[in-house]
Amino acid sequence: MTNLFRLADQRARRRIVSFDRKELARLLGLYSMRVATGEWRDYAIDFRPGMAIFSIFRHTAEQPLFAIAKVPGASQGGYVVYNGPRKLAHGETLEDVLKVFERKLKLLTS
């Protein structure tokens, strides 16, 4: 009794989503700038069915401050930024959602 499985069918079911080299370089560039200022200290990359998540931590033992998720085929865009359960941004490109982290310049007068 032999069961045959088509590999193409198995791969379609276990579709792995990951960040490509350009996306990872952009995420790590943003991360390293914030590490240099002392705001962020650790990160993690998780792969779940149908999504990849780049989580950012202030302290390793805490919950992530932010999570940047890549979810291809999502109705509101392929990328989402979360702060805990709150959705901060969603968009079609990684650059669209990373605008959330752009700093507003303030004029300081003495």
pLDDT in tens, 4-44: 656 665 555 567 899 999 999 999 999 999 999 999 999 99
- pLDDT, tens digit (0-9, with 9 covering 90-100), for 71-91: 987 766 799 999 989 999 999
pTM: 0.79
Within-domain flag for 25:
yes
Within-domain flag for 5:
no
Within-domain flag for 36:
yes
Task: Output DSSP code: residue 54.
Answer: E
Within-domain flag for 3:
no
Determine the pLDDT at residue 70.
Answer: 95
Domain total in the chain: 1
**Which residues lie below 8 Å from residue 64, measured CB to CB, with a gap of 6+?**
44, 55, 56, 57
The boundaries of the domain holding residue 37 are 15-101
Within-domain flag for 82:
yes
Within-domain flag for 29:
yes
